[in-house]
Structure 1
């Protein structure tokens, strides 16, 4: 009787850690997949990029797509972010280090569907410049330029 109880206890003891191991492996696999799925592109040192938005980019849930670029910004930086495309109605969004929206622009002051955003950075850190199409306006080539504005002396 003792050996049967011991054997049943051993099975239960082994079963629990294996379950936890499987759960641990599953969550590790999920985190690995998330890291593969979301990988913002570092903005080149020129702070300019000519690229293409495609249906392989981040779905917005509104029929369009988005592409994210990482940029390190300093407290006090004054920025102009210019996004233009002949292929889609563009929206540019600046996301802060904590993921919140710092600023966003849909249409520039020239009356076109290009985007021009001006903002001042209040906290140093890694920011995301998100390029996206408005609604279902599509995909295609675009140009993005981030300019650090200098005060007039």
Structure 2
């Protein structure tokens, strides 16, 4: 759902009420819940906002209910506006021109801040648009989320619907979600995956604080949308599984337990050498969840080396550093080749001291896997 707050809402109402055909708000046709009305936009109807002709309907609304306005037309690209008027001033407005996805129809889901009379404008998106339309207003029950059980290792099938709980409604974050609960142990490594057909879902891991879902901060979202985290304490954890944009769809949610992070295996590499490797499950991980392999290069003092990392399956990222008291300390890193194009990475660095240096081959984003080629040379 494309929902906007329009700063110039007052101009809308002024234009609407100044139209001779609709001189007073009370003269607008009434749209009732569950009712469909048919109409026609013609050249004699008013136009505004550099868009097409429009007709205005009014309806009575109450807070605590979710309203669904639908405008359909086979003759023009539909554009819906919902406005509240108080003393001749527009207080709140929502607009939508593509709420039903592809096609020319518009669908707008909304709640109202207070009881009163609201306006629905049935309009053409294009200035030249005219023709027949059907406008309908419905309601859906807003229910608090029902907490469902989730077992680690067992996928669950669910469905997002207009009767599900909604996100808080901040701009750009409208949508429906389901809530799940599972018990975890301290240090347990969890991966959450959610698939919802052609839609891109949103999965969150968190706890309940004062009856409110509180997302965890130390989580990693991979390129495939999977969420990974290490549980800090034993107890109950909650998963919010949903999608933004008013999506309604079947989905599959899976919580998996991951094996403990592996210690990096240090692989020797010499100047002039080129090796094939692969990022895969079971590799060592950086703090942000990126998989990596580690190579050891023995350098002379002041030696300059070039590291090339080529990959086709992920955006390559190379890091050079040293182990100091068992802790890796980065010296230099890069995720691009010289031309800045493609997925490869190239890095030239001067190694000031003689000794062993560590080259980490990883990816730009967490969750990436695939084969790569690492080359080390002394230009």
Calculate the TM-score normalised by the size of structure 1.
Answer: 0.69
In the other structure, the counterpart of 2:94 is 103
In 2, are the aligned partners of 1:89 and 1:137 still within 8 Å (CA)? no
Q: Secondary structure at the match of 2:44?
A: coil
Distance 1:82 1:106 in 2: 10
1:134 corresponds to which residue?
125
Secondary structure at the aligned position of 1:62 is classed as coil
Tell me what 1:30 maps to.
Answer: none
C-alpha offsets along residues 21-65 of structure 1, whole Å, 9 cap, x if unaligned?
Answer: xxxxxxxxxxxxx58531422224643111111122222252521
1:117 to 94, 108, 125: 108
Shift of 1:121: 1.3
- Which residue, out of 69, 73, 79, partners 1:81? 69
Aligned to 2:45: 57
Alignment gaps of 5+ in structure 2:
1-17, 143-162, 165-379
Task: Return the match for 1:37 from 5, 8, 21.
Answer: 21
Q: 1:121 to 1:46 in 2, by over 3 A?
A: same
**Per-residue deviation, residues 72-122 of structure 1 (Å, max 9, x unmatched):** 111122011111100001100100133244311011243112101111112
Show the counterpart of 2:79: 91
Structure 1 vs Structure 2 CA RMSD: 2.4
**Greater Cα shift, 86-95 or 53-62:** 53-62
Question: Using a 3 Å threshold, how does the CA distance of structure 1 residues 35 and 117 change in structure 2: closer, same or farther?
Answer: closer
CA distance in 2, matches of 1:37, 1:142: 19
CA distance in 2, matches of 1:61, 1:79: 25
Write 1 or 2 for the structure with the bigger share of helix: 1
SS of 1:58's equivalent in the other structure is: coil
**CA distance in structure 2 between the partners assigned to 1:35 and 1:148 by the alignment:** 30
For the 8 Å contact 1:93–1:101, the answer to whether it is kept is no
Q: Choose 1 or 2 for highest CA Rg.
A: 2
Comparing 104-113 with 71-80, greater Cα deviation is found at 104-113
Distance 1:55 1:108, change over 3 A: same
**CA distance in 2: counterparts of 1:77 and 1:97, whole angstroms:** 19
Of stretches 124-133 and 91-100 in structure 1, the one that deviates more from structure 2 is: 91-100
CA distance in 2 between counterparts of 1:69 and 1:149 reads: 20
User: Would you identify which runs of 4 or more consecutive aligned residues in structure 1 move more than 6 Å?
Assistant: none
Q: Distance in 2 between matches of 1:50 and 1:43?
A: 11
